Structure 1
């Protein structure tokens, strides 16, 4: 009997050892490594190779057929441009403003759309719909709506006795106007991310808070806000990257004007390319790439600290 038990225990121990991935040699994955060849090839052709060539051509004066090595002259010229200083300032203002508003409004709308309200599913679709529309189409539409004389927005304000401003023609309002349109377009994605974060919070936390007599504000502050931190990190990262790289909406609405009032780095780069300064515009693209990397990578690591533990 004892030998039978010892044999059974030995069999169970051998099975446990075989099933433990840490006890022996690492078991191969379900797919062979050569399955990674095509994704790696696509990544190399469409990302790594263009990135390397961009860095190289930023040190040259080039056109479609020739290139001449000029070292750091493109960067020196680029940083001496007044438009770059204005564009850098506007880029940072635009990115911080749009990402901050998307975080606040996205959380507020997610709280509303996870509560017991009528037509909740329909309202979620309405909020998300602008995300699906082309930025160029939205830009052209709001250019018409914000026309200082014939625009529907100023006509509606005139109907209640308010003299509407030049949303896109006033240098002090142009960048803010485009930023608000960007928030209107992108807040739906932030809302969906927050909804996913809120509905994934276990119900036991709410039950415990109810037993303790916590108020709605205390539930939001001590349960929803901390446990929705991964959603907040995702919204901040995505919206900040989008704000730093924003071009299509700004170009379709103001083309960087009036003057340089709504120019961002991407629009400055495009203007240099239009003027035929290809090396200079390539250097600007590298500057934008470095700017996004320097800001987003440390911020993402800070926002996601403790998540891997």
Structure 2
């Protein structure tokens, strides 16, 4: 019995080797270099000075708040929109296969390309969105230059691009639900809303949990779309933790930026793991 157990454990070796080389070792190295002032030639140990400097940065508070707003809003909007899109696209409409392709299409486009395109569309004077608004008698809006709405403009762009993946996950979850549940509910006289509330929502919980986790972590890690659209501006209005770390690295503060990456990793881990545990506890067995 013991020999069989040792034999089966050997199958874990390739996965553990990959995990160690590409995750564990880089993590340990990052933790070490976050405690140093380093460049590509040498390093000097400085203890927790990088972390103290990072937390004293005036843009850090704004970046943490913006990151949380971004992660929560993109997660909620994708969750709600994707759920109802999936309900619609799993109904008996004839063009549902074509519409599924249309919904998923934005995800195939490069994030940077999406950012550049929407930056042009949201231009305060020449953008198509403002031209449509002024055509109907409205006033032009500085979508990306107004500190009050710039972050929300990027959030809506992110939702437009990412809702397709969430919809596909929901469609897969809904199609796995046994049709006899709906048939029994229909025989009992349940309305469409009652079937949605009592059957679709609880039995789609695994798909829902996947969407929440992926969207939330993606929001916490966001960088490329914000950088392509606003570069973190105007001011610190759209500054997030990833863009703050990038700016420190671009300025040559490698140890400081490494410390920022460690902080971001810890923040994501401390929020994602408890959230996942809570969501899994709510799944229907």
**Structure 2-normalised TM-score?**
0.95
Task: Specify the alignment match of 1:172 in structure 2.
Answer: 148
| Structure 1 SS opposite 2:281 | coil
Q: Which runs of no fewer than 5 residues in structure 1 stay unpaired?
A: 1-24
C-alpha distance in structure 2 between counterparts of 1:117 and 1:307, whole Å: 29
**Deviation readout 1:25-82 (Å, 9 max, x if unpaired):** 49959x9654544443332222111111111111111111111111111111111111
| Structure 2 SS opposite 1:304 | helix
Task: Specify the alignment match of 1:278 in structure 2.
Answer: 254
Task: Specify the alignment match of 2:206 in structure 1.
Answer: 230
Does the alignment pair 1:148 with 2:124? Answer: yes
**Deviation readout 1:116-135 (Å, 9 max, x if unpaired):** 11311010001011112111
C-alpha distance in structure 2 between counterparts of 1:26 and 1:231, whole Å: 39
C-alpha distance in structure 2 between counterparts of 1:262 and 1:47, whole Å: 30
C-alpha distance in structure 2 between counterparts of 1:96 and 1:124, whole Å: 25
Match of 1:79 among 48, 55, 64: 55
Over 6 Å off, 4+ runs: none
| Structure 2 SS opposite 1:52 | helix
Does the alignment pair 1:259 with 2:217? Answer: no
C-alpha distance in structure 2 between counterparts of 1:249 and 1:212, whole Å: 49
CA-based RMSD of the aligned residues comes to 1.8
Task: Specify the alignment match of 2:108 in structure 1.
Answer: 132
Does the alignment pair 1:121 with 2:117? Answer: no
**Structure 1-normalised TM-score?**
0.88
C-alpha distance in structure 2 between counterparts of 1:45 and 1:308, whole Å: 37
| Structure 2 SS opposite 1:260 | coil
1:259 CA displacement: 0.6
Q: Which moved more, 1:37-46 or 1:86-95?
A: 37-46
Q: Which moved more, 1:51-60 or 1:156-165?
A: 156-165
Contact 2:59 2:239 in 1 (8 A): yes
**Deviation readout 1:138-197 (Å, 9 max, x if unpaired):** 111111111111111111111111112101111111100000000000000110011111
Aligned length: 284
| Structure 2 SS opposite 1:61 | strand
Q: Which runs of no fewer than 5 residues in structure 2 stay unpaired?
A: none
C-alpha distance in structure 2 between counterparts of 1:115 and 1:42, whole Å: 43
C-alpha distance in structure 2 between counterparts of 1:224 and 1:111, whole Å: 9
| Structure 2 SS opposite 1:68 | strand
C-alpha distance in structure 1 between counterparts of 2:239 and 2:217, whole Å: 17
C-alpha distance in structure 2 between counterparts of 1:231 and 1:195, whole Å: 9
Task: Specify the alignment match of 1:92 in structure 2.
Answer: 68
Does the alignment pair 1:65 with 2:20? Answer: no
